[in-house]
Amino acid sequence: MERGERAIRQLARAALPALFAVVLFTGCRSDIIFSDNISMEGERWSRYNVPLFKADITDTLNAADMAITLRSGSAYPYRNIFLFVTTVAPGGESITDTLEYRLSDDHGNRLGRGFGDIRYLELPYRTNIYFPTGGTYTFRIEHAMRREEIEGIYDVGVKIRRQQR
């Protein structure tokens, strides 16, 4: 075997793992900008337990979609849920939205993905949004149901996803 052929083979062996790593990491680029959830102690959500999420946003050029994530069980006594969602921008400006989501259909069948008792829902909150400035955005989610405490809620969260072009 010639010296040149041996050098080419060694180079190929050394470059192959690096090429594989580049393909792996660029092919698995996540569209998730932020995702977090907070578990409810005892699967009960008190009106005084207001989950707070802090998302560091750097992308001010691309559109994003935002969702409220919720895991609920059959102990949840209603077909819907009302939420107050407050967004606080890095400069301190805030806006509060009142939202209603259905958790069951008209026949009482739980909506969402899951097996057995627990269902996971990704509830659309805002679509095609642009964050005007980079920085830390704060999201507060509180339930707006008539009871002070609601049972059957396992956790609540926020997910921000970069829109696909």
Q: What is the pLDDT of residues 16-66, one digit of tens each?
A: 344 444 334 444 558 999 999 999 999 999 999 999 999 999 999 999 999
Does 7 or 94 have the greater pLDDT score? 94
Q: What is the pLDDT of residues 85-103, one digit of tens each?
A: 999 999 999 999 999 999 9
pLDDT exceeds 60 at position 134: yes
Give whole-number Cα distances, 51 to 30, 31, 38, 61, 143, in Å.
25, 24, 7, 28, 10
pTM attached to this predicted model: 0.79
pLDDT exceeds 70 at position 164: yes
Q: Mean pLDDT check: name the lowest of 2-6, 14-18, 82-86, 126-130.
A: 14-18
How does residue 116 score in pLDDT terms, banded at 50, 70 and 90? confident
pLDDT exceeds 70 at position 147: yes
**pLDDT at res. 60:** 94
| Distance between CA atoms of residues 34 and 155, nearest Å | 16
- How does strand 64-72 pair with strand 32-39? unpaired
| Distance between CA atoms of residues 155 and 164, nearest Å | 27
